[in-house]
Structure 1
Amino acid sequence: MDSIGQQFIKQTKHSNLGPSDQSSGKPQPPIQLEYDKSQPVVKLPKPSEIITEFVDVRTVIEQRKSIRRYSNIPLTMDQLSYLLWCTQGVKEVFQGTATLRNVPSAGARHVFETYLLINNVDGITPGLYKYFKIPS
Structure 2
Amino acid sequence: MIMSFGQYKDKHVGWVIRNDFSYFKWMKRQEMTNRKEFQAMKKYVSILNRIPFQCACYGKCKPKNIATRYSIYSKNPDLHYYCDECDPYSSGANNGKLFIGKTIEELARLSDCNESIKQFTTNKGLKNGMRVQSYDNFFVKHK
Same fold (TM over 0.5): no
Structure (1 or 2) with the larger CA radius of gyration: 1
TM-score (ref. length: structure 1)? 0.24
- Normalised to the residue count of structure 2, the TM-score between the two structures is 0.23
Query: Which one has the bigger strand percentage?
Result: 1
Higher helix content, 1 or 2: 2
